[in-house]
Amino acid sequence: MNMTSRVSRLRDERVTLAHGGGGKAMCDLIEEVFTDVFDPPGMEDQARLTDAALREAGTRLAFTTDSFVVTPVEFPGGDIGKIAVCGTVNDLVVGGAVPLWLSASFIIEEGCEIALLRRIVGSMAREAKAAGVRIVTGDTKVVGRGSADQVFVTTSGIGVIPAGRDMRAESVEPGDIAIVNGVLGDHGAAILAARGDLALSTEIESDCQSLGHLMEAVLKAAPGVKASRDATRGGLASALNEIAEAADVTVEIDETALPLREEVKGMCEILGLDPLYLANEGTLVLFVPPDQTEATLEAMRSTEAGRGAVAVGRARDKGPVPVTMRTAFGGERIVDMLVGEQLPRIC
């Protein structure tokens, strides 16, 4: 049943503690704002999943969970709901799994606008549909004002890994090529601007998107893909460091190959930030054997999420540091893991 086709029983404009009390108010909120919106047959307290879907798609289960907090909860290019779906879907995807089911759990601050919740849930439903996953179970809790920042979302995801797929960072070998699916740092830059306290205005939008279709296209065209990571918090630099450490190789990237928007570069110049460490929410890096580079790039570019795919570097024999970068200037620099959070600097 479509929620717009009947009279709403929810009278409040904002969430009150009553909506977390276990009574009728809570039932109305859950039904109208959440379960009715997620794809039929809707959500259940305990989802019963048939193993037929598993056997059809693969031989091993993949299971992941992630919590999402973002300020502001709505930003250019997405909102916390879209990230919560994309993030968990992408966690499954980069491990080679086909994502099937998600759970969604909401911690809602007293006073949160119900209209905002509806928008967030709407974008979750849209994104889940686009990614081909179902949100099958969930939970809500309401906490007092100040105990949360509007709304926090936790999603867990189950997927299956088809037989024969074995993507793991340890498999990366010297010679393998590192490929990213598009521009770097858009999410981090968009969020920085959207917070408003730095008074910067830009057209940059978050890259928030799910990568399942892209990965399936790639694995069909280039089954030799060794490993993949989504370059979320800590950016491309952190993803590459993790892979290099796990695989016992050094990854060398080429600064001139890095896809960066002019605005993102500008933002980084202004605030003294390094785009390699800016967060992404729809960007992955994967490693393929050199002879499958072209096939991989072609497959990526045939998908919406991979139009900007480009090779950015390669693995080589282990050197003294995990990740180095040939600078556009002809020098070489080390790309280490970030210490703490990147703060805007003036010196």
Partner 1 sequence: MRYVQEFRDPVAAKGVLAAIARVADEIGVTKEDPVHIMEICGGHTHAIFRYGLDKLVHEGVEFIHGPGCPVCVLPMSRVDECVELAERPEVIFTTFGDAMRVPGTRKSLMQAKADGADIRMVYSPLDALELARRNPEREVVFFGLGFETTTPSTALSIQQAAREGLTNFTVFCNHITVPPPIRALLSDPHMVLDGFVGPGHVSMVIGVHPYDFIAEEFGKPLVVSGFEPLDLLQSVLMVIEQIRDGRAEIENQYARVVPEYGNPVSLAAIEDVYEPRPSFEWRGLGEIDESGLRICDRYSAFDAEAKFGIGYGAAAGRAVVEEPEGCACGLVMTGRAKPTECPQFGRGCTPEMPLGALMVSSEGACAAYWQYGGARAVEAAE
Partner 2 sequence: MCLGIPGQIVEITDTERQLAMADVSGVKREVSLAPVSDRPLADLVDEWVLIHVGFAMAVIDADEAAETLEALRGLGEAQETLEQIAEGERAFMEDRA
CB 99 within 8 A of CB 93: yes
Whole-number Å distance between alpha carbons of 128 and 112: 23
Between 27 and 270, whose beta carbon lies closer to partner 2?
270
Instruction: Give 70 or 217: the residue with its C-beta nearer to partner 1.
Output: 70
44 DSSP 8-state letter: B
Nearest distance from residue 335's CB to partner 1, in Å?
9
Selection from partner 2, partner 1, none that 45 binds (CB < 5 to 8 A by kind) is none
Choose from partner 2, partner 1, none: what does 4 bind? Cβ within 5-8 Å by kind.
none
Question: In angstroms, what is the minimal distance from the CB of 337 to partner 2?
Answer: 23
Instruction: Name 93's Cβ contacts closer than 8 Å, sequence gap at least 6.
Output: 99, 159, 210, 211, 212, 215, 228, 230, 284
Residues that bind partner 2 (CB under 8 A): 193, 198-203, 261-263, 265-267, 269-270, 272, 345-347
Neighbours of 54 (CB within 10 A): 16
Residues 232 and 301: beta-carbon distance below 8 Å = no
For the record, the structure tokens of 156 come out as 């867990």
Least distance CB 325 / partner 1 (angstroms): 9
Which pairing describes strands 134-143 and 98-109: parallel, antiparallel, or unpaired? parallel
When CB distances are held under 5 to 8 angstroms depending on the partner's kind, the choice from partner 1, partner 2, none that residue 331 binds is partner 1
Q: Which is nearer to partner 1, 310 or 337 (CB)?
A: 337
Q: Which does 69 bind (CB under 5 to 8 A by kind): partner 2, partner 1, none?
A: none
Burial class (CB in 10 A: 0-12, 13-18, 19+), 5: exposed
In the complex with partner 2, the residue whose CB is nearer, 105 or 202, is 202
The single residue listed with the structure tokens 């981090």 is: 188
- What residues make contact with partner 1 under the rule CB under 8 A? 197-200, 269-271, 320-321, 327-334, 336, 339-340, 343-347
Nearer to partner 2, 189 or 279 (CB): 189
Q: How far is Cα 67 from Cα 147, in angstroms, rounded to an integer?
A: 16
Binding site partner of 267, from partner 2, partner 1, none, Cβ cut-off 5-8 A by kind: partner 2
Longest CA–CA span in the chain (Å) reads: 67
The two beta strands, 177-180 and 310-316, are antiparallel
Binding partner of 327, given partner 1, partner 2, none, CB within 5-8 angstroms per partner class: partner 1
At closest approach, how far in Å is the CB of 264 from partner 1? Answer: 14
197/203 with CB nearer partner 1: 197
| C-alpha to C-alpha distance for 341 and 344, rounded to whole angstroms | 10
